[in-house]
């Protein structure tokens, strides 16, 4: 496969109730039921059950030494006044009748003993009776335990439900300042100005300038928005209260709004101060974007708006928010007086990438052959987070190899690991697989090398990494944001080069599943060209909007079925053309293909210069040329 991207795995928070709580609840239930059941058995007494002469009992009753006689089913329970050696429980048929017969009537009438008739106890009935009272209590207890846990995990320390955790940055051991943020000069300047507002409000007021209330940091994930906000805190020297939108998303009804109130209350009390709401899109997505869902988010969002509207010019609180998705934000947030200042944080350009790499390699011992400029050149499109990741991986790789200093090989390994996934040293391919992979990758390389508008081949390898069998890298000579139709068509053709090489060498039935990601890439890119870039073979300069999401959450087609068919035909036409060109190039240059595959099998990895040496003299056949 040609270009490789690292897959992002956002860490999902685990909202599952801990098994600890469930264990506790279970034992609580067992103990409660056990205790109550025992208690119900133990009425007056149950330890003795020997049968004794009723006359003896009667004698005691006459002497007024009995407190009470209880008749319960077939049992007679006796409670003596002071402990006579009396049985406490006697079993017999029809105890009430027996008492009558035995002449108890007289003593009872004289008031010398009381007799009470009780319903016989049914174990299950009594358990049910108890359960009716106990179960709801347990459920309520469980619910509270669960809430407490939630609240704790949101806070990392227990606090009231409605209390926002005031994370005060700037006092930590490792204070972040603008020095730690490389590149993004424009954004840093904007933020420095905000800091100045807070420090010297008089200067601005004297000139009649309105102090901004809300600043929105917008940009791709990993571009350093959170880092920059922390740097603001480090620079400002004013209290900095921070909370993340995703934390709100986990809260119970009403809690989000009350947290916002609490957060703003604290900030005002400590003014001048800064509130930072990270990932604000988590609460402030367009109200209709989720089909009217998220009442709780809406309450939270409304509360934020209410609080911001309540600021007066002297409140001295500035709200900074960050988002990866400005397009998803509720428009109400962007109105004047709210987040009306926008700071765009962009993916780093080459010189910024060098600067970021320098920041992250600063405290790491590196060999003199480590070339950060070259690494920056290879990492077009990477975010600051990706680069930080490479630096870290390089250190780990060196440590794993038992080295004290990071070598260039460690850096290269780290770069490839971050971009594609770790090398699968353990999985050995059999000879057949290796041969197929070698031809497949050689196919990509030959087509890419020969086509006039393709980026040069940077490296070819048949060492498996991540889920891919091998990789062919193409690297643009410099950063470019735009590609023209010829370049894109060459991308399509070189992507087909892998499978076409397999076909030519092993026959039409010899193709493998190794090309599936290439095919996917081709159909996605072809679709994008036709529907979004107006780059079809016939459909030109027209775009077909497929990104509107309709009421049902489906992508709405803003075009007819007939156009849809035409689009499919166009995509097919691009894919066919690419296949045809790849095939033509490979057939015309079969001996170069063979030689490259042979060298790959021998060396496993070939660098840019080696590839160029092997393919010297390979030529573009006329049929693969595009009409311009």
Q: Which residue is nearest to Zn ion (CB)?
A: 498
Nearest 5 degrees, angle CA 382-CA 384-CA 389?
A: 85
Q: Nearer Cβ to Zn ion, position 275 or 460?
A: 460
Is 498 a binding residue for Zn ion by CB under 5 A? The answer is yes
Residue 498 touches which of Zn ion, Mg ion, ligand ADP, none (Cβ within 5-8 Å per kind): Zn ion
DSSP label of 622: G
Report in angstroms how near the CB of residue 554 gets to ligand ADP at its nearest: 29
If one asks whether residue 87 binds Zn ion (CB under 5 A), the answer comes out as no
> What number of other Cβ atoms are within 10 A of residue 140's Cβ?
10
User: In the structure, how many helices (H) and strands (E) does the chain have?
Assistant: 21, 13
Q: Which stretch binds Zn ion (CB under 5 A): 223-231, 346-354, 517-525, 599-607?
A: 517-525
Distances (CA, A) of 255 to 163, 250, 295: 9, 10, 12
The residue among 322 and 515 lying less far from Zn ion, judged by its C-beta, is 515
Q: Hey, which residues between 528 and 557 contact ligand ADP (CB under 6 A)?
A: none
> In the bound complex, what is the minimum distance in angstroms from residue 357's beta carbon to Mg ion?
20
**Count of CA atoms in the C-beta half-sphere (13 A) of 283:** 31
Catalytic annotation, pick one of 441, 500, 502, 570:
441
Instruction: Please say which residue, 179 or 520, places its beta carbon nearer to Zn ion.
Output: 520
Nearer to Zn ion, 21 or 511 (CB): 511
DSSP states of 28-52: HHHHHHHHHHHHHHTSS--S-----
Of 245 and 448, CB closest to Mg ion: 245
Distance CA 559, CA 566 (A): 11
Which residue, judged by CB position, is nearest to Mg ion in the bound state?
A: 226
Which of 193, 349 has the CB closer to ligand ADP? 349
Rounded least distance, CB 519 to Zn ion, Å: 9
Burial class, 284, CB count within 10 angstroms (exposed 0-12 / middle 13-18 / buried 19+): buried
Q: Cα separation of 578 and 486, whole Å?
A: 11
- Residues of this chain, 95-114, that bind ligand ADP according to CB under 6 A: none
- Min dist CB 444 to Zn ion, Å, is 6
CB of 575 to ligand ADP, least distance (A): 36
Q: What's the token pair of residue 299?
A: 């309450």
User: Which tokens sit at 151?
Assistant: 């609240």
Site for ligand ADP in 302-361 (CB under 6 A): 322, 356, 359
Catalytic site includes residue 441: yes
Q: Are 489 and 625 in contact (CB under 8 A)?
A: no
As a whole number of angstroms, the longest Cα–Cα distance in the chain is: 129
Q: Residue 421: phi, psi to the nearest 5?
A: 125, 160
Nearest of 473, 502, 460 to residue 600 by alpha carbon: 460
448 binds, among Mg ion, Zn ion, ligand ADP, none (CB under 5 to 8 A by kind): none
> Could you tell me the smallest distance in angstroms from the CB atom of residue 472 to Mg ion?
34
- 307 touches 264 (CB < 8 A): yes
Q: Which does 1 bind (CB under 5 to 8 A by kind): Zn ion, ligand ADP, Mg ion, none?
A: Zn ion
Binding of ligand ADP at residue 184 (CB under 6 A)?
Answer: yes
Of 478, 451, 418, which is closest to residue 625 (Cα–Cα)? 451
Identity of the residue, 226 or 366, whose beta carbon is nearer to Mg ion in the bound complex: 226
**Positions in 209-248 near ligand ADP (CB under 6 A):** 219, 221-227
CA distance 416 to 390: 9
Touching ligand ADP, residues 144-183 (CB under 6 A): 181-183
Residues at the interface with Mg ion (CB under 5 A): 226
* SS3 (DSSP) at 475: coil
By CB under 6 A, name the binding residues for ligand ADP: 181-184, 219, 221-227, 322, 356, 359, 384-385, 388
Please identify every residue annotated as catalytic.
441
């Amino acid at each position: 496969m040609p270009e490789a991207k690292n897959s992002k795995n956002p860490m999902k928070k685990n909202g599952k109730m801990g098994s600890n709580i469930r264990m506790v609840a279970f034992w609580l239930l067992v103990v409660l039921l056990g205790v109550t059941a025992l208690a119900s058995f133990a009425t007056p007494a149950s330890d003795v059950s020997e049968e004794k002469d009723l006359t003896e009992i009667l004698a005691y009753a006459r002497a007024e030494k009995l407190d009470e006689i209880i008749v319960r089913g077939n049992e007679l329970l006796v409670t003596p006044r002071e402990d006579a050696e009396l049985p406490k429980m006697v079993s017999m048929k029809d105890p009430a009748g027996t008492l009558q017969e035995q002449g108890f009537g007289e003593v009872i009438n004289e008031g010398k003993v009381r007799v009470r008739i009780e319903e016989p106890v049914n174990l299950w009935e009594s358990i049910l009776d108890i359960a009716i009272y106990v179960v709801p209590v347990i459920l309520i207890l469980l619910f509270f335990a669960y809430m407490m846990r939630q609240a704790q995990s949101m806070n990392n320390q227990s606090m009231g439900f409605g209390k926002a955790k005031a994370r005060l940055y700037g006092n930590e051991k490792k204070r972040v300042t603008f020095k730690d943020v490389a590149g993004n000069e424009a954004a840093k300047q904007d933020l420095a100005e905000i800091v100045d507002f807070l420090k010297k409000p008089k200067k601005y007021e004297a000139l009649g300038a309105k102090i901004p209330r809300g600043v929105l940091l917008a940009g791709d994930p990993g571009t350093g928005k959170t880092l920059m906000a922390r740097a603001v805190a480090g620079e400002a020297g004013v209290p900095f209260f921070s909370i993340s939108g995703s934390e709100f998303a986990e809260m119970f009804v009403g809690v989000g709004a009350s947290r916002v109130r609490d957060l703003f209350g604290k900030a005002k009390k400590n003014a001048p101060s800064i509130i930072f709401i990270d990932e604000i899109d988590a609460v402030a997505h367009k109200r209709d974007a989720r089909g009217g869902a998220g009442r709780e988010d809406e309450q939270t969002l409304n509360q934020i708006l209410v609080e911001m509207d309540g600021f007066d010019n002297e409140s001295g609180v500035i709200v900074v928010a960050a988002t990866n998705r400005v397009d998803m934000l509720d428009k109400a947030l962007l109105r004047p007086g709210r987040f009306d200042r926008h700071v765009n944080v962009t993916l780093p350009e080459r010189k910024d990438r060098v600067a970021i790499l320098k920041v992250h390699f600063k405290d790491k011992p590196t060999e003199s052959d480590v070339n950060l400029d070259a690494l920056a050149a290879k990492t077009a499109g990477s975010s600051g987070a990706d680069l930080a990741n490479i630096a870290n991986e390089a250190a780990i790789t060196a440590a794993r190899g038992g080295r004290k200093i990071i070598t260039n090989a460690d850096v290269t390994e780290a770069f490839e690991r971050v971009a594609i996934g770790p090398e699968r040293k353990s999985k050995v391919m059999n000879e057949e697989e290796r041969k197929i992979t070698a031809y497949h990758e050689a196919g990509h390389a030959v087509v890419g090398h020969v086509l006039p508008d393709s980026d040069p081949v940077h490296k070819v390898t048949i060492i498996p990494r991540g889920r891919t069998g091998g990789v062919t890298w193409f690297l643009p000579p410099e950063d470019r944001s735009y590609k023209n139709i010829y370049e894109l068509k060459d991308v399509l053709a070189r992507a087909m080069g892998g499978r076409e090489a397999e076909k030519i060498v092993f026959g039409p039935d010899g193709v493998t599943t190794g090309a599936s990601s290439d095919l996917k890439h081709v159909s996605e890119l072809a679709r994008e060209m036709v529907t979004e870039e107006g780059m079809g073979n016939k459909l030109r300069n027209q775009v077909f909007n497929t990104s509107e999401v309709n009421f049902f959450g489906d992508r709405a087609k803003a075009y007819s079925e007939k156009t849809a068919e035409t689009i499919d035909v166009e995509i097919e036409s691009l894919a066919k053309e690419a296949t045809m060109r790849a095939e033509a190039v490979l057939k015309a240059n079969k001996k170069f293909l063979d030689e490259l595959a042979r060298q790959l099998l021998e060396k496993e990895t070939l660098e840019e210069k080696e590839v160029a040496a092997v393919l010297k003299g390979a030529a573009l056949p006329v049929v693969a040329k595009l009409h311009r």
